[in-house]
A and B are shown apart, each in its own frame.
Chain A
Amino acid sequence: MNNHILSHLPYKSSFRFVDNILLLSEDEVRGEYTLKEDAFFYEDHFAGNPVTPGVIVTEIMAQIGLVVLGIFLVLKETDFNFMDDDSLYPLLTSTDVSFYKMVLPGEKVTVISKKQYFRFGKLKCHVEMLDSDKELIASGTFAGIIKKIAVKNG
């Protein structure tokens, strides 16, 4: 229902951290992701003792909390066809996150993001990640923009 927005995400396979959008409105998004047991980062982080890196937890929060909501807002607000323009990318401009719990391979996490503002193309949100027992894994403030990038190949 809300998942059509996922076709607009620019991430592929090993760096796409959104499975399912539970709720999507102008002020809030909720989404889920299950960490794959064979994800590339577990082999080395840490050897013999796989734990999800904080940067990946941060990325999951950013993709669900900021990028999904940001694309939704941009599509709603503007006439230009965002997705036909493949030089437009979501960019993270700041994060401030605190971590409370580890995330292990195979865990399913839920991200809840509430909009603080969306102005002049910048989206700022308060984002929380919860585990399946609804316990807080991480929370923080995320901000980003969608920017045209001239990608030079070769």
Chain B
Amino acid sequence: MTRQEILNELKKVISPYTTNKEMLAQINEDTDLLKDLKINSANLVDIIIDAEAKYDIEIDYDEADKMMNVGSCIDVISEKIGQKQ
């Protein structure tokens, strides 16, 4: 799965947790989940749990800690998908 494909799917995962749909439509790897998308920081946990279910992966505390922008989310997800194969 390419980074662009993960980004496109990540948009759907994030969508329920941001009201800033305009910003969501044009996210890139530098988009900050809290500052740009105005996501409630506690809801990052829900995004991680939803991403785990979607990709059938398990994300630990240290990895979750890194997932502050779209690029770092893609890093963690693609690494986890890679480990499965």
Taking residues whose C-beta sits less than 8 angstroms from the other chain, chain A's interface range is 10 to 19
Distance between A133 CB and nearest chain B CB, rounded to angstroms: 35
Do residues B40 and A119 form an inter-chain contact, with CB atoms below 8 A?
no
Q: Which of A93, A120, A124 contacts B40 (CB 8 A)?
A: A93
A110-124 vs B, CB cutoff 8 Å, 1 = contact: the mask equals 000000010110101
| A117-B49, A119-B49, A120-B45 known; A94-B64 Cβ under 8 A | no
Give CA–CA (A93, B64) in the complex, Å: 18
Give CA–CA (A119, B46) in the complex, Å: 9
B43 contacts partner chain A, Cβ-Cβ < 8 Å? yes
Give CA–CA (A69, B57) in the complex, Å: 27
B residues less than 8 Å from A119 (CB atoms): 45, 48-49
Distance between A4 CB and nearest chain B CB, rounded to angstroms: 28
Do residues A93 and B42 form an inter-chain contact, with CB atoms below 8 A?
yes
Within 92-128 of A, Cβ neighbours of B (below 8 Å) are at: 93-94, 117, 119-120, 122, 124
Give CA–CA (A109, B56) in the complex, Å: 41
Do residues A145 and B42 form an inter-chain contact, with CB atoms below 8 A?
yes
Do residues B49 and A143 form an inter-chain contact, with CB atoms below 8 A?
no
Selected A-B contacts with CB under 8 Å, 6 pairs:
A117-B49, A122-B42, A124-B45, A124-B46, A144-B42, A145-B42
Query: CB within 8 Å of A: which residues of B?
Result: 40-43, 45-46, 48-49, 61, 64
Beyond known contacts A93-B41, A120-B61: 7 more, CB 8 A cutoff: A93-B42, A94-B43, A119-B48, A120-B48, A120-B64, A122-B45, A124-B46
